[in-house]
Amino acid sequence: MTEQEQPILSVKNLAVTYKTRKRDVNAVRDVTFDIYAGENVGLVGESGCGKSTAAYSIVGFLGRNGRVSNGEILFRGENLANRPESDLRKLRGADISMVYQEPMSALNPTMLIKDQLAESLIVHQNMDKKAAYEKSLESLKSVYMPDPEGVMDRYPHQLSGGQQQRVLIAMALLNNPSLLIMDEPTTALDVTVEAAVLDLIAELKERYNTATLYITHNLGVVARVSDRLAVMYAGEIVELASTKDLYAKPLHPYTMGLMRCLPDVDAPKGTRTLHPIDGRVPSPDNLPEGCIFSPRCEFARENCFTEHPKLDEVVPGHQARCFYAKEWLEKGVRWDDRMEEPERVCPERPAETDEIMLTIKDARVYYPVPFKTVRGLFGLEKRKYVRAVDDVSFTIKRGRTLGVVGESGCGKSTIAKAIVGLEALHDGKIDFLETDISSPINKRGSQTIRDLQMVFQDPNGVLNPSYSIGDQIALSLRRFNTVPRDQEYDEVVRLLRAVKLGENYYHRLPRQLSGGEKQRVGIARAIASNPAAVICDEPVSALDVSVQAAVLNLLLEIQKQQNTTMILISHDLSSVRFFSDDVAVMYLGRLCEIGPCESIYSSPSHPYTAALLAAVPRPDPTLEQTGVRLHGRVPSAVNPPSGCRFNTRCPFKIGEICEKEEPPRQDMGGGHLIYCHLPPQELNKL
């Protein structure tokens, strides 16, 4: 790329204003960046940073109450800001096209795929139906859609999430756009599907000379696909640099903060601390004075609170909106440096005991499938079941943490619910502290209930919106008789402090809290009974990265103080590595592999584990991110494949034996168990 070349898109001082009832809100301010042909620019930031708003302003789609209030959007030299619909219409879908976050809802549910694709060609290129069909089919082939002809005649709901996203990408490419805007295209997808879609996006960039604006909150993803990155915070770009530079030497404290709070899938437990950013992203109608990041910035100096910094070029090609960016560069402050060494939250491990806390033996959790046939209604058909968890066994020792990983639908949440008694076991046995707890919760003793608590996933669902924070925690105390009635208030405050919230939270209602704060209250409630074991079901997956780190740290600290046994259910292999001692990998209701983190992460042995690990997007642009990729879709849990469940997608399938026989349990030593037909020496090679 030469400097003389004209950018495809040049956004200058863009401001977007939304009219609300009270006043006008500037959701995006002073945003300036260029995209050149063949370049992929990533727009990164946490939720509510205005990155989608900025993107949609390019295509003039801001809703009735939004408008571009300042600046220019130059597309091939032509200003698109506030242009009439009729002008924009010619560009949309032709020269500028988009790929969306939720592929399912972005496709018309009542229209065949072929019609949805052809439409775009018919409108922009005046193609006849037949030509449009041919071109659409070709386009589906170019995104490696399996069975493209079949897909053309299907409705969106008949496709998997990954296929839907491929359809949308094919649709966006139909008219050879000069600019492609991708709005979190892989966020809603499972990690192995995400990896395949990212491969495709990277390949398309090589194949077409399209300029791409890639919006995401995931620093790992953009490290793979983007050439340059713009980091957005609260409606402003705070840093803009080539991907390599940005990851090597971030110059804005927010960017540094973001990188510091990412768990690293390659760093074992205890070797790294996470460094959360305190506070929360300000809402655009209530921005702080001075530098918008100043209230959360650990480097902030006096003038940061009064003056608003400009986006300055610190070194050629590297801009940052910080008064002291040069200083960080000169002093060589690196993102993994700290102002001062924080208190080490990594647990100094309490003495290992061999006491077994929890034993799960041949557990099965089946859900009956509602009858769909007439015969079924009369009970003439065999009842079918969703085999959510099928024949799973493992043990956990006191004080250790087991991470359970797998993609959605693998049964990891179900096993968690079965342990705490929210789901009934179909078959099998669970022992907890030498008590049989195979029965669901309403048949368990109160001591068992008290000793086994859970931290939940959805911060918005975790607290009852009708009661104050304090009341909800107090209720748990009362139920478990933890403290005498008259000490209740003090105990609630103690718990709130334990999760780093103050006494003033006692009377707040859940909706006055941010997601991270709600999650802390959920943790406080879980530890109110002083449980021996806590099961955390995706505790951070709905949170922004900067908040995730804080919650993970908090959980670690609690474990350290109380020697709590924990199970962490997660789809995120990085946070599992950060958090766990042991890890179990599940696929379609079955266990694939279980063992100490070190042996599994350092040399993944089961083909599925290898694929999962290869799929994790790493926030490091220098890494060549390839490896085992999975194809096809996860089979139905109602009618799982015979033999090894993974055989339909396994890249290392030996042959018939995988389809016919259950994989044997192979002990690799040190508690590392693998369920696979491959001989141990082959497994070690993976």
Residues 418-447 interacting with another protein (rule: CB under 8 A): 420-422, 441-442, 446
Secondary structure class of 231 (helix, strand, coil): strand
Look-up of token digits 């863009």: 14
* Residues of span 113-172 touching another protein by CB under 8 A: 119-120, 123-124, 155, 157-158, 168, 171
Which range in 214-222, 308-316, 413-421, 629-637 contacts another protein by CB under 8 A? 413-421
240 φ, ψ to 5°?
-145, 120
Nearer to another protein by Cβ, of 91 and 678: the residue is: 91
H helices present in 67-144, as ranges: 85-91, 103-106, 113-125, 129-142
CA distances from 668 to 352, 398, 674, 682 (A): 22, 23, 7, 12
The answer to the question of residue 519 lying near another protein (CB under 8 A) is: no
Rounded to a whole number of angstroms, the minimum distance from the CB of residue 203 to another protein is 23
CA dihedral angle for residue 342, residue 346, residue 351, residue 352, rounded to 10 degrees: 180
Contacts of 481 by beta carbon, 8 Å cutoff, 6+ apart: none
Contacts of 287 by beta carbon, 8 Å cutoff, 6+ apart: 234, 235
What whole-number distance in Å separates Cα of residue 608 and Cα of residue 196?
Answer: 15
Task: Tell me the per-residue interface mask from 526 to 545 with another protein, x by CB under 8 A, - otherwise.
Answer: x--x----------------
Q: Return the closest-CA partner of residue 518 out of 575, 478, 579, 465.
A: 465
What whole-number distance in Å separates Cα of residue 262 and Cα of residue 256?
Answer: 10
The answer to the question of residue 525 lying near another protein (CB under 8 A) is: yes
Rounded to a whole number of angstroms, the minimum distance from the CB of residue 141 to another protein is 20
Which range in 203-211, 343-351, 471-479, 612-620 contacts another protein by CB under 8 A? 471-479
What whole-number distance in Å separates Cα of residue 15 and Cα of residue 27?
Answer: 8
Rounded to a whole number of angstroms, the minimum distance from the CB of residue 544 to another protein is 19
Rounded to a whole number of angstroms, the minimum distance from the CB of residue 658 to another protein is 31
Nearer to another protein by Cβ, of 314 and 526: the residue is: 526
Whether the CB-CB separation of 231 and 258 falls below 8 Å is answered with yes
Buried b (16+ CB within 10 A) or exposed e, 315-336: eeebbbbbbbbeebeeeebebe
* Residues of span 12-31 touching another protein by CB under 8 A: 21
Which range in 302-310, 340-348, 391-399, 519-527 contacts another protein by CB under 8 A? 519-527
Q: CA end-to-end span of the chain, whole Å?
A: 39
Q: What is the DSSP letter of 262?
A: S
461 φ, ψ to 5°?
-105, -5
Rounded to a whole number of angstroms, the minimum distance from the CB of residue 476 to another protein is 5
The answer to the question of residue 287 lying near another protein (CB under 8 A) is: no
* Residues of span 219-278 touching another protein by CB under 8 A: none
* Residues of span 55-84 touching another protein by CB under 8 A: 59, 61, 64
Rounded to a whole number of angstroms, the minimum distance from the CB of residue 488 to another protein is 10
The answer to the question of residue 5 lying near another protein (CB under 8 A) is: no
CB burial of residue 150 (10 Å; 0-12, 13-18, 19+): exposed
Which residue type occupies 637?
A
What whole-number distance in Å separates Cα of residue 475 and Cα of residue 469?
Answer: 10
Rounded to a whole number of angstroms, the minimum distance from the CB of residue 344 to another protein is 31
Q: Which helix (H) or strand (E) holds 71?
A: strand 66-75
Rounded to a whole number of angstroms, the minimum distance from the CB of residue 376 to another protein is 9
The answer to the question of residue 461 lying near another protein (CB under 8 A) is: yes
Nearer to another protein by Cβ, of 108 and 626: the residue is: 108
Rounded to a whole number of angstroms, the minimum distance from the CB of residue 375 to another protein is 9
Rounded to a whole number of angstroms, the minimum distance from the CB of residue 222 to another protein is 22
The answer to the question of residue 616 lying near another protein (CB under 8 A) is: no
Which range in 43-51, 266-274, 368-376, 624-632 contacts another protein by CB under 8 A? 368-376
Nearer to another protein by Cβ, of 287 and 441: the residue is: 441
Nearer to another protein by Cβ, of 175 and 273: the residue is: 175
**Residue from the set 207, 443, 497, 507 that interacts with another protein by CB under 8 A:** 507
Which range in 289-297, 390-398, 414-422, 545-553 contacts another protein by CB under 8 A? 414-422
Nearer to another protein by Cβ, of 96 and 262: the residue is: 96
Nearer to another protein by Cβ, of 333 and 554: the residue is: 554
**Residue from the set 248, 315, 329, 509 that interacts with another protein by CB under 8 A:** 509
Rounded to a whole number of angstroms, the minimum distance from the CB of residue 527 to another protein is 12
Kindly give the interhelix angle for 488-498 and 469-480, rounded to the nearest 10 degrees: 110
What whole-number distance in Å separates Cα of residue 594 and Cα of residue 532?
Answer: 22
Nearer to another protein by Cβ, of 322 and 454: the residue is: 454
CA dihedral angle for residue 181, residue 184, residue 190, residue 196, rounded to 10 degrees: 30
Which range in 226-234, 405-413, 505-513, 650-658 contacts another protein by CB under 8 A? 505-513
Name the pairing type of β-strands 427-432 and 582-587: unpaired
What whole-number distance in Å separates Cα of residue 555 and Cα of residue 519?
Answer: 11
**Residue from the set 465, 502, 655, 669 that interacts with another protein by CB under 8 A:** 465
Rounded to a whole number of angstroms, the minimum distance from the CB of residue 189 to another protein is 16
Rounded to a whole number of angstroms, the minimum distance from the CB of residue 636 to another protein is 13
* Residues of span 81-110 touching another protein by CB under 8 A: 85, 89-94, 97-98, 100, 102, 105-110
Nearer to another protein by Cβ, of 271 and 464: the residue is: 464
Nearer to another protein by Cβ, of 509 and 614: the residue is: 509
Nearer to another protein by Cβ, of 158 and 306: the residue is: 158
Nearer to another protein by Cβ, of 268 and 635: the residue is: 635
Contacts of 553 by beta carbon, 8 Å cutoff, 6+ apart: 273, 274, 276, 345
Which range in 245-253, 340-348, 524-532, 638-646 contacts another protein by CB under 8 A? 524-532
Question: Per the structure block, which two tokens stand in for 97?
Answer: 């096209």
Edge-to-edge, what's the strand order for the sheet holding 565-570? 452-455, 533-537, 565-570, 401-405, 582-587, 590-596, 673-675, 665-667
What whole-number distance in Å separates Cα of residue 494 and Cα of residue 481?
Answer: 16
Secondary structure class of 70 (helix, strand, coil): strand
Question: Per the structure block, which two tokens stand in for 539?
Answer: 């505790």
Which range in 230-238, 355-363, 404-412, 452-460 contacts another protein by CB under 8 A? 452-460
What whole-number distance in Å separates Cα of residue 243 and Cα of residue 623?
Answer: 12
What whole-number distance in Å separates Cα of residue 287 and Cα of residue 19?
Answer: 16
